[in-house]
Structure 1
Amino acid sequence: MIRLPVRQLVERVMRSGDIDGGYVSRDRMLEGAIAHRYLQKKNKEINDSYRSEVALSVEYEHEDLIYSIEGRADGIFIKEGICFVDEIKTTRINVKTLTENHDLTHWAQAKCYGYIFCAQNKMAEIGIQLTYHNIEDKETRTLAEIFGAEELENFVKVLVERYSKWERLSLDWKEMRNQSIKGLKFPFDSYRRGQRALAVAAYRTIEGNAKIYVQAPTGIGKTISTLFPSIKAMGEEKTGKLFYLTAKTITRQVAEEAFEKMRSQGLKIKTITLTAKEKICFMEKTICKPNYCRYAKGHYDRVDDCVLEALREWDEFSRNVVEKCAQKHMVCPFELSLDLSLMSDCIICDYNYVFDPRAYLRRFFSGGESDYVFLVDEAHNLVDRSREMFSASISKTELYGIKKEFKGQNSLLDKILKNINKSFLDFSKKCENGNLIQWDRPDDFLKLMENYAAICEQMLKERNSLSEEGEFLKVYFSVLGFLSVGDLYDERYVTFVQTDRRDVVIKLFCINPNRLLSEAFDRGKSSVLFSATFTPLGYFKDLLGGDEEDKVMSLESPFDEDNLCIIAADKVSTKYHRRQESIGDICDIIEKVVSKKTGNYMVYFPSYKYMADVYKEFRSRYPELKSLSQESSMSEAEREIFLDCFKDNPKESLVAFCVLGGIFSEGIDLIGSRLIGAIIISVGLPQLNVQQDIIKDHFNKKNNKGYDYAYIYPGMNKVLQAAGRVIRCEKDKGVVMLVDERYGHRNYKGLFPSHWRSVNYVGNYSEVDRVLDEFWNK
């Protein structure tokens, strides 16, 4: 039995025309729901027979397909001896101007409900009523017509016939896919150490509709070890769709390569990699209006043919494939990718498509429970990313710009902006040393934002030019984002105000994203979160939506421990007030490490300034050593040039100065002799600031681990990520030098991974010489 909601049937078959991505009121759905309840109550008062929210379903057979067509009618009532189905639609259009042909999808939806009711009750005819209600002037208009049961049945038959080509395509593909999965074997000759354990844990997690947090060191092969069992589970009908979630482009590419490897072994599977609208858009500006974008105009008239052709010709919908198909059929590439995602078995995408309250894919997650599986790669990144996604800020400067540009054009706008400006100034006066921390939800300020949004919505309706790209629309959307986060505000939030001579910024800051992430994970049936640096596991489970029932797993490194030399120079202080006096010692330590073995090395620093100061002194002391330094805001091309300097088997050593936690300390693979050493300066603590202290204070109250949660754990995660650049495969051999006195402290030693069992603590240069000589000569 194939479940087929009426709305899904109608929207799939009857969509047509342009994409018109104008503004949408944040209250549109709420206003519609209120209007529905108002009209339903009013109708019951007028007509005793009126029943609201009537559940309808009927079994419908088309050829060899059996559907359960179902939905919920807004109302059923009897008038003058005839039974009517009432379909309520809200609008802002003057209802007096509406004709019978205003929107054929409205009639189609109501006629489907009429057909089902006739079939359920063996009726020969039924009345169909469309009720249009203007949510602004409260005017209502009804359009009604009597239909015979046979006529409605023929209408539904045509819809189902047209829909069935998509359903049959999906079912045929599913059968072929599942057959190929049955014969799929693990795509490598053997499992590495820990790899089978991870694969089994992932499969059992999916089988048990559970969630697991896995620390899997570099080299285990996390991507294939989670994808392979997930695909096996899919072949056994334990899941209908996979979401492979990543924070970086490079990990998306690894997932794509894993699928390609399995396809070469006979796997039939459709995958899509989603690219952000701003990146994939063909136009100079991302304005989804038919009068601006030729791809938006008539998009829905052409997109079905495009999707069908893509499904016939491709199994991997990469960015290049999506762009190629979209260009050929003149359709929007982003909307095409979303349509293809509905027909794909695995969606490879950024975290925000599942977790961000302002951007998640509602087409998948608006129906409650699902059988989706979430595979979250490099999940340590989700802590900071989720805090960003669940937080929002608004500045006095943003709104002052609107006040200045539109002064005198709308009295209501002038008044609300004056009140908002006063509120900003009131917050500013309460700040001490430029900061204000307020644990309560700023209800009065949010009410002002609500009023501002309402006035903007009215102006956008009255002046079409405002709905085009510009500062007015940009600030309007910023306010909507702020309000949506305001709706999430609870005891895990704080209102954080910062001010200086130029501006006042009010931030709704999510300190602990646990609850919101847990709710997001509940949109799927099971989740596997994995990272090489889930240390400590309890911290990540606590922040990333975990509860007592969720499992944790920590795996050993698959690589020979003898191939990695860990040295800790714990007699050097890199604390902020001692950094200047440490510069000479650090330069000499770098030289000592590099002089023992010709090769490529990376040196990581906690800040650009510290890096620049040491780099300048190092070049002065050791001009004979080849060196280069990371620049801030490097372009994609500049990053590639930087990494291209790391050659295999170099004839002279290269020392690269980089920032800890930056683009070169995570997500890069310099295999073999391209990188043989990492020297990590400091313990990577985040910069001391008010926001980190807010996190510290919150968790001190919660579990007395505030400093750990705000500083130590995030810092050590950056250290472990940087150290992980050295050993990338079984044959790699290299050294990691840790430089900071705190590496000798017990609380830091307790965070070392298990394969760092033999850390060599050195107090002078001769000890460094001895350890390195023994290691490289072994």
Structure 2
Amino acid sequence: MNEYKKEIKISVRNLVEFVLRTGDIDSSFTGSSRAVEGTRLHKKIQKTQGKEYSPEVFLKTTVEFDDFFLTVEGRADGVINEDGCFIIDEIKTTTAPLELIDEFYNPLHWAQAKCYAYIHALNENLEKIKIRLTYCHLETEEIKYLVSEFDFAELSRFFEELVEKYYVWAKLACDWQVKRDCSIKVLEFPFEKYRKGQRKLAVAVYKTVTEGKKLYVKAPTGIGKTISTLFPAVKAIGEGHASKIFYLTAKTVTGGVAKEAFAKMRQKGLLFKTVTLTAKEKICFMEKAVCKPEKCEYAKGHFDRVNEAIMDILTNEDEIKREVIEEYAKAHRVCPFELALDLTIWADAVICDYNYVFDPRVYLKRFFSDAGGDYIFLVDEAHNLVDRAREMFSAQLSKKSFLELKKAMKEESPKISKTLQKLNTFMLGMKKLCGDNDYFVSKEEQSEIYLLLRRLIGECEEYLTDRAKNGIENEDLLQLYFDALMYVRIAEFYDDRYVTFVEKSDNDVRIKLFCIDPSHLLSEALKRGKAAVFFSATLLPLSYFKEVLGGGPDDYTMCLDSPFEVNNRCLMIADRISTRYQDRGKSCDEVVQCIKSIVCAKKGNYIAFFPSYQYMNMIYELFEKECGDIKLYVQSSSMTEKEREDFLERFKADPQETVLGFCVLGGIFSEGIDLRDDRLIGAIIVGVGLPQICIERDIIRDYYQNKNRLGFEYSYMYPGMNKVMQAAGRVIRSENDKGVILLIDDRFTNPSYLALFPNEWFPYIRVTGNNISEHVKKFWSRHGA
């Protein structure tokens, strides 16, 4: 292959769907279990074939044009070799009655198989080849074969016509990549100089990408970790080490920092297309996201217009954020969410939530279904991914939903009602297993539920599909259907890193496939890309995060020091007070006095963080009686976006009065907010942040205690201290910020907790309620305040 020509790659599936798609988006119920059951049935069918059958055969061909190569590749479900006569097998699962399926049932199925047949015939120098479409009914598992023989010349014409239609798009991609890479070659770091630790991080990221490894970085606020990870990743793409960046975030606000970093590089001449994905519910133009042509003008005829919209936006825009997507979607009357997903194919970087790479429910199958690619995953605020991953890889069902729908469906569908009755009976059996403990934990699967769920899924598909034809919906049954699908899907992952967890309450029983240790599944998901960088200001201890986030012995860790002047902050520890649950009542007055000593020493904005709403409200009520002249604001448990904004607006620059916010550790105000300069000059952190004791946390504790003797640390201590570090990190956000941090709890000076302190927390001052004010006043007088 000519090394000076660009290679444009596309999968067989994406090529066929992109070129041949037409018509409406229609989310009318047609059955979704093929996405879940498909893998199981594929494997089952493949295993029943004879020795002449080769499953999952990777096929690839490259077409040369004047100025680029187009590589088309993918995995055929099977290739059968009967004494030199080859058959390409394409397996499709369906809920449609098999008697209705004929050779005209779905042209895209034939198109995909024809591509595989052409590539295989080309590679094997065959004049003829057969295609077999294997349709398997999801409920009955009955199979129907459609077989046809094709001349190589016929397949060649079909493939050439497909490629010819795609040529304009491949040329667009090629021309863009040439321009992009030229701009990257001359791109300089977009700031005058590197901050302390910044160059070291950038070099480590580049090395990680080129070597195809993982890097876990504790990078404190102020280093500029976003630009320090993006700049070397962009450079690596320009040099051909990778093809795309996925910048992954836990919150929308964090994605904004990545957009700012790209904007800085564009100011230095970078040509780079970035797409930001927004949740469907937020970007949909309709009041309710119902993707049906009769209810949404943007769904009707979407596929007839979408390629024109894509060409328009790619020709005119580089930063493709929500507002841009909405503008072009309205102009071309297409669905903004589906347009955004399509644009990710053409983007050099995708800024999106963790879900789009890791969550088995919603990950981007257009990139990750087959073998993945040479992608770079940059995982921001990576400390959040531990619990998010447990959530993604777990699934649960409740007895209540079975019982309620059993009654509701009795007349509508006796068949479904009967299956729901059996599931209800199964759950009653689970309830008995709980005994007096109100819960039951088993390493073994309660596998008898799977058969019942598969039966329910099949019956629901038949019922819901039939009703959908008449425009009738049953949202409760549909939700249960999806929950059952997810449960069956997660069951495919079940191993010794899972437990089955049953819990009963007054009027319900829930059963959960609980992923205790997500490291293996995260590691498998990361194989969809080439390299990954996990970074956070609080990624401590690194050994813990490297283990639970899927790192291996050959992967890298890095701990960087804060670039800020340590004298700009005063860190105090009131370690003669216990904030343990049983001691909170008697320590309340001391905690109030500590907070009062801080906020009365200097006028300004402060936040006090607490381990629970109950404890927070208890202290708030006492403090209000003691200091009624101070402006107090309290976080509530269910604040709207507007209420959150209003809360933060209270912390004004150049304050004329003292403002004190009462917030919870690990909540919306303890991380991800940026109150620079004098918008926040102090944080009081009450307690060591331990998660509330619960059965799930104890299950995690017992698992890791058995695995590495660090059960309490992995389940309670490390997650708790992470919340503390995040809250403390709100105070010093830039080199000009100055502030005080008070940690209240006798455990903070315990050696096991001190070992978790970041370097910038030393030295600290041990204080009592009597001398806090003195130390605070000394600190501010040193800084001329």
Give the TM-score normalised by structure 1: 0.92
Task: Find the aligned partners of 2:613 and 2:651 in 1 and give their Cα distance.
Answer: 21
Task: Pick one of 451, 454, 468 that aligns with 2:455.
Answer: 451
Q: 1:380 aligns with which of 376, 380, 383?
A: 383
1:268 aligns with 2:271: yes
Question: Which residue type is aligned with residue 335 of structure 1?
Answer: E
- Partner of residue 721 from structure 1, selected from 726, 734, 737: 726
Cα gap change, 1:626 to 1:4, in 2 (>3 Å): closer
| Match of residue 352 from structure 1 | 355
> In 2, Cα distance between the equivalents of 1:542 and 1:53?
31
CA contact (8 A) 2:24 2:301 kept: yes
Equivalence for 1:442: 446
Deviation, 1:415, is 2.9
Please report how far the alpha carbon of residue 769 of structure 1 lies from its aligned counterpart in structure 2 after TM superposition: 2.8
**Cα separation, 1, equivalents of 2:297 and 2:610:** 49
Conserved 8 A contact 1:91-1:132: no
5+ residue gaps, structure 1: 45-49
- Name the structure 2 match of 1:11: 17
**Residues 533 and 720 of structure 1 are in contact (CA less than 8 Å); yes or no, is this contact kept in structure 2?**
yes
Q: 2:421 matched to 1:421?
A: no
Which deviations, in whole Å up to 9, do the C-alpha atoms of 1:94-144 show, x marking residues without a partner? 566566654433444455456556656777x75766657463595747575
Once residues 688 and 86 of structure 1 are traced to their aligned partners in structure 2, the CA distance between those partners, rounded to angstroms, is 53
Alignment of 1:666-681 (within 5 A): 666-681=671-686
Query: Which residue number in structure 1 is paired with residue 253 of structure 2?
Result: 250
Aligned to 1:755, what secondary structure does the other structure show? helix
Aligned residue for 1:730, secondary structure, equals coil
> Match of 2:690, SS?
coil
Distance 1:553 1:666 in 2: 22
* Residue 180 (structure 1) aligned to one of 180, 183, 187: 183
Change in Cα spacing, 1:144 to 1:239, as seen in structure 2 (3 Å) is closer
Counterparts of 1:77 and 1:546, CA distance in 2: 41
| Post-superposition offset of 1:438 | 1.8
Corresponding residue SS for 1:201: helix
In the alignment, the residues of structure 1 paired with residue 432 and residue 152 of structure 2 have an alpha-carbon distance, to the nearest angstrom, of: 71
Q: 1:167 to 1:744 in 2, by over 3 A?
A: same
String of CA shifts for 1:44-72, please: whole Å, max 9, x gaps. 8xxxxx99988766553344444455565
Q: Distance in 2 between matches of 1:345 and 1:76?
A: 38
The answer for the alignment partner of 1:498 in structure 2 is 503
Match of 2:712 among 707, 711, 736: 707
Alpha-carbon separation, structure 1, partners of 2:400 and 2:260: 46
| Cross-structure match for 1:584 | 589
Contact 1:110–1:128 under 8 Å retained in 2: no
- Say whether residues 1:611 and 2:619 are aligned partners: no
> Could you say what the CA RMSD is over the residues aligned between the two structures, in angstroms?
2.8
The residue number in structure 2 matching 1:232 is 235
Higher mean displacement: 568-577 or 668-677:
568-577
1:24 counterpart = 2:32: yes
Asked if 2 retains the 8 angstrom alpha-carbon contact of 1:62 and 1:161, the reply is no
Change (3 A) 1:51 1:598: closer
**3-state SS of the aligned residue for 2:761?**
coil
Q: Given that residues 215 and 557 in structure 2 are in contact (C-alpha distance below 8 angstroms), is that contact kept between their aligned partners in structure 1?
A: yes
What is the alpha-carbon distance in structure 2 between the residues aligned to residue 85 and residue 112 of structure 1?
10
User: How far apart are 1:695 and its partner, in Å?
Assistant: 1.4
Measured in 2, the distance between the counterparts of 1:425 and 1:230 equals: 54
Is the alpha carbon distance of 1:470 and 1:547 closer, same or farther for their aligned partners in structure 2, counting shifts above 3 Å? same
Q: CA deviation at 1:738?
A: 0.8
Any idea what the Cα deviations from partners look like across 1:239-283, whole Å, max 9, x if unmatched?
A: 100111110111111111111111111110001111112222222
Letter in 1 for 2:210: E
For 1:291-332, what per-residue CA distance to the aligned partner results, in whole angstroms no more than 9, with x for missing partners? Answer: 333322221111100100010111111111111111111211
1:161-560 mapped onto 2 (5 Å cutoff): 161-431=164-434, 432-464=436-468, 468=473, 470-560=475-565
**Amino acid across the alignment from 1:446:** Y
Q: Which amino acid aligns with 1:198?
A: L
Distance in 2 of aligned mates of 1:757 and 1:83: 70
Structure 2 CA distance for aligned equivalents of residues 725 and 678 of structure 1: 8
SS of aligned partner of 1:306: helix
Rounded Cα–Cα distance in structure 1 between residues aligned with 2:547 and 2:224: 25
Structure 2, gaps ≥5 residues long: 2-6
In structure 2, relative to structure 1, the CA distance for the partners of 1:297 and 1:489 (3 Å cut) is same
In 2: Cα distance, 1:104 partner to 1:679 partner? 65
Counterpart residue number, 2:4? none
Instruction: Measure, in 1, the Cα distance between the counterparts of 2:467 and 2:526.
Output: 41
Deviation at 1:682, TM superposition (A): 1.0
Amino acid at match of 2:779: F
Whole-angstrom CA distance in 2 between matches of 1:258 and 1:348: 12
The CA deviation at 1:32 is: 5.3
* Partners of 1:137 and 1:370 in 2: CA distance: 33
Provide the rounded CA distance (Å) in 1 between the counterparts of 2:150 and 2:221: 68
Letter in 1 for 2:18: R
Report the Cα distance in structure 2 between the residues aligned to 1:430 and 1:225, rounded to whole angstroms: 53
- Is the contact between residue 287 and residue 468 of structure 1 (CA under 8 Å) also seen in structure 2? no
TM-score, with structure 2 as normaliser? 0.92
Give the aligned residue type for 2:618: D
1:645 CA drift (Å): 0.9
Identity %: 48
Checking the alignment, whether the CA contact within 8 Å between 2:102 and 2:146 is kept in structure 1 is no
Alignment size in residue pairs: 767
8 Å contact from structure 1 (residues 678, 726) kept in 2: yes
Among 545, 566, 570, which residue is 1:565 paired with?
570
Q: Which amino acid in 1 is paired with 2:178?
A: E
Q: Does 2:770 align with 1:760?
A: no
CA–CA distance in 2 between the matches of 1:610 and 1:82? 75
What's the counterpart of residue 47 of structure 1?
Answer: none
Aligned-partner residue type, residue 387 of structure 2: D
Work out the CA distance in 2 between the residues paired with 1:51 and 1:714.
47
Matched, 1:594 2:607: no
Which whole-Å deviations, capped at 9, do the CAs of 1:223-246 have from their partners, x for residues lacking one? Answer: 011001111111111110011111
Aligned counterpart, 1:771 = 775
Conserved? CA contact 1:35–1:90, under 8 Å = no
CA distance in 1 between counterparts of 2:745 and 2:54 reads 73
Which residue is 2:670 aligned to?
665
| Residue equivalent to 1:61 | 64
C-alpha displacement at 1:737, in angstroms? 0.7
Which deviates the most, 715-724 or 531-540? 531-540
Q: Is the 8 A contact 1:55 1:73 kept in 2?
A: no
SS at match of 2:606: strand
What's 2:755 paired with?
A: 750
Match of 2:629 in 1: 624
Q: How far did 1:770 drift?
A: 2.7
Q: CA deviation at 1:577?
A: 1.5
Cα offset, 1:626, TM superposition: 1.8
Partner deviation per Cα, 1:692-727 (whole Å, 9 max, x = no partner): 111111111111111111211111111110000000
Give yes or no for contact 1:77–1:85 (8 Å, CA) kept in 2. no
1:749-774 CA distance string (max 9 Å, x none)? 11111111111001341x22332222
8 A contact 2:23–2:303 mirrored in 1: yes
